[in-house]
Amino acid sequence: MSEQELNRRNQILVTRSNGTLAVKTQGGGKSLTVQADKKMCCINNIMAKYQKTGQLPNFPIKKEMYGDFTQTPTFLEAHARVKEVETFFKTLPAEVRNAMDNKPENLVNFLADPVNKELLEKHGVLEKVKETPIIMETPEEKPEEPAN
C-alpha cells in the first residue's frame, strides 16, 4: 500500500518497538451514529426504568411469516445461480449490456420487452424468426343431400 493510499483512508504507518510496521486508522469526521436515541438505547436507562415500573419498554415485534420453503434453493445453490447469470451477462455484446445499464438484474425485463427485439436480433442474442404466412384452407362445402 502506498503512502498516498493510506492518507486517503485516514490511515498512518507506525513503526512498532520490534521494528515491524502497523497501519493505524485515525478517527475523526462526522459520526454516522444517531445520537438522538442514545438515552432510549442505553441498557442502564432501560434497567433503571424497569426497576421503577417493573415493565420493559414496548419494542416493536415483527409479525411472524409462514410459508412452504421446501423448494427454496440453499444459499450455495442460489449463489451459484447468480454467478452463472453474471457470467452469461458478461458474454453479451457491450451495446446490449449498456442498454441494460450494465446490470444483470435488468436482463429478464429487457429480454421480455418487445421494443428491444431489434437490438437483440442485430447482435445475435435472438434469432430472427422468419414469419411465414398462415394460409387457412376452408373445406369445400358439399351440397346437402336431400333426406329420404
Tens place of pLDDT per residue across the chain (148 aa): 555 455 566 778 888 999 898 888 777 667 777 788 888 888 999 999 999 999 888 877 788 888 888 899 999 999 999 999 899 999 999 999 999 999 988 988 998 898 988 888 888 888 887 777 777 777 676 666 766 6
Residue 69 belongs to some domain of the structure: no
Residue 82 belongs to some domain of the structure: yes
- At residue 142, the pLDDT reads 65
Residue 141, CB-side half-sphere exposure with 13 Å CA sphere: 2
Q: Domain range spanning residue 101? A: 75-122
Residue 108 belongs to some domain of the structure: yes
Q: What CA–CA distances, in Å, run from 101 to 94, 112, 114?
A: 10, 16, 18
| DSSP classification of residue 113 | -
- At residue 75, the pLDDT reads 94
Q: How many domains does the chain have?
A: 1
- At residue 143, the pLDDT reads 63
Residue 118 belongs to some domain of the structure: yes
